Amino acid sequence: GAKSIGKNNYHYYTKSMRDAALKRMTLISDLRHAIENEELFIVYQPIVEMHNGYCTKAEALIRWQHPVHGVIGPLEFIPVAEETGLIIDISNWVFSQVCRDVRHWRKTLCPTLQLSINTSPIHYTDPDRCITQWLDTLLETRTPPQAILLEITENLLMDANQSVSTKLFQFRQAGVDIALDDFGTGYSSISYLKKYPTDILKIDKSFVHSMSEVSNDKVLCEAIIVMAKKLGIKVVAEGIETEEQRNILQKMGCEYGQGYLFAKPLKYQDFDALLKRQKQDELACLAH
């Protein structure tokens, strides 16, 4: 009867809960070592200008080369890193790698390149832990602030207080651009545009993907783009996978695109090769 099923479920859940706890503890201790063992790496996904496909920006996305489980994506370990505070060390590492890479590529291949970094709530709420260090890193390494774009998400801003906007202003005053990531997936996206300084708005891929099926989403996409334009904010559409999506968004006036149609996130060497090809094309164009 129902009772015995309930009983079995109880046993089932306790075992699976124990397994989950064990898995989590292993993940945490592995992650701790991942930093010192240099198992983390960054891939760069091109953000291109819609009208000519030219790449002048890229998003830094973290990956973990686990010695046993292979490559692990951020969705599987960033939440744990945030809960345990390991995100601080990880993000400081990401920040300095990105600074080093953008300086190199600006010098050699693309003088206007801008690289974007994803940030977590803790970066803005923990008193001065990251922000000050990151601003110091910019100065010490002589990285031009305009070479960096910080991505923030709505869930970061949802329970934000005064200190978050103060810190965002600090960054912006230093010359760093701010992007609102995954726009449209939260509850009150528009009110954030009023409260927080924003240079770029990234339309979430779920919107882009449902554009052709849900006509409301198409209308909303266009409205977001028009609104952003009037506010002087540039728009990046995320997760573009088809020509159709690209054409629709371009007609709507969306300036930048990111997605598998243009490129997957690329390893350092592959992104380097893309910039090289692009520079050669540019020189060839000038010669004609």
Where do contacts with Mg ion occur on this chain (CB under 5 A)? 118, 151, 181-182, 204, 238
- Which of 2, 75, 283, 285 lies at the binding interface for ligand C2E (CB under 6 A)? 75
**107: β partners:** none
- What's 147's DSSP letter? G
Coil/strand/helix, residue 215:
helix
Question: How far apart are alpha carbons 243 and 257 in whole angstroms?
Answer: 11
- Of 30 and 200, the one with the shorter C-beta distance to Mg ion is 200
Cβ pair 174, 138 in contact under 8 A: yes
- Of 143 and 153, the one with the shorter C-beta distance to Mg ion is 153
Binding track, positions 126-155, relative to ligand C2E; x by CB under 6 A: -------------------------x----
Q: What is the DSSP annotation of 126-144?
A: STTSSHHHHHHHHHHTT--
Q: Which does 30 bind (CB under 5 to 8 A by kind): Mg ion, ligand C2E, none?
A: none
Cβ pair 91, 120 in contact under 8 A: yes
Q: At its nearest, how many Å lie between ligand C2E and the CB of residue 244?
A: 13
Q: At its nearest, how many Å lie between ligand C2E and the CB of residue 202?
A: 7
User: What's the angle, vertex CA 59, arms to CA 55 and CA 60, rounded to 5?
Assistant: 130
Binding track, positions 179-218, relative to ligand C2E; x by CB under 6 A: --xx----------------------x-------------
Q: At its nearest, how many Å lie between ligand C2E and the CB of residue 275?
A: 19
Q: Which does 78 bind (CB under 5 to 8 A by kind): ligand C2E, Mg ion, none?
A: ligand C2E
Which tokens sit at 130? 């990251």
Cβ neighbours of residue 148 under 8 Å, at least 6 residues apart? 98, 99, 102, 114, 115, 116, 117, 138, 176, 177
- What's 175's DSSP letter? T
Binding track, positions 79-118, relative to ligand C2E; x by CB under 6 A: ------------x--x-----------------------x
Q: Which residue has the tokens 């198409």?
A: 218
Cβ neighbours of residue 286 under 8 Å, at least 6 residues apart? none
Q: Which does 260 bind (CB under 5 to 8 A by kind): Mg ion, ligand C2E, none?
A: ligand C2E
- Of 152 and 248, the one with the shorter C-beta distance to Mg ion is 152
Residues that bind ligand C2E (CB under 6 A): 45, 61-62, 73-75, 78, 91, 94, 118-120, 151, 181-182, 205, 238-241, 258-260, 265
